[in-house]
Structure 1
């Protein structure tokens, strides 16, 4: 297995050099940051890592060009998570 272009436990805010999908990186990073660990639990209250945290990590890898087979559940969790970080969602408050 090749080395990852970022630390999966602490990915940088900006996409790594050569990242082919920087917009996906920024969206996934925002979701990853919202679902950080608080001991055994995620900031959202679910057991850590929650489905959104796992989906965000998969999206960070995809943004860097690391292909992963994505089960349908992961794709749903990613899009649901993106809606959670969308600033245009009514009643949305950023943390």
Structure 2
């Protein structure tokens, strides 16, 4: 699935494999999008004074790609980000668990 990494849609697009992951990554991307202070300019001949996304913005894009079905990324940083978002109430844990159960049933797993 293709999407504009410079402006990913808020809602998961059709064909998105992991809708909850999409929403989490989109929220993270929103907090670290290019017009936010988390992006910084790299000055010099190698980068031609370009705007470079911060680490969390790059992580959000990787997560969006993973949610859309590209190769999965396993990352302790992702676990930490998800835990902190749940703790702050940015993610409804009951909804997250319900969606995880739905994915397990869809995959033919029990539990």
TM range (shorter): 0.5 to 0.7
Aligned residue runs from structure 1 range 1-95, under 5 A:
4-38=1-35, 41-42=37-38, 48-67=52-71, 70=73, 75-83=75-83, 86=85, 88-89=87-88
SS of the residue 1:55 aligns to: helix
The match for 2:107 is: none
Runs (5+) with no aligned partner, structure 2: 43-51, 91-111
Structure 1: 5+ residue runs without aligned partners? none
Where in structure 1 do 4 or more consecutive aligned residues deviate above 4 Å?
none
Larger Rg: 2
1:21-60 Cα shifts (integer Å, max 9, x gaps): 0000000000010001237x526x7974111111110000
> Pairwise CA RMSD of aligned residues?
3.1
Task: Tell me the distance in 1 between the aligned counterparts of 2:41 and 2:63.
Answer: 20
Query: Higher helix share goes to which structure?
Result: 2
**1:24 alignment partner, SS class:** helix
Count of matched residue pairs: 81
3-state SS of 1:6 partner: coil
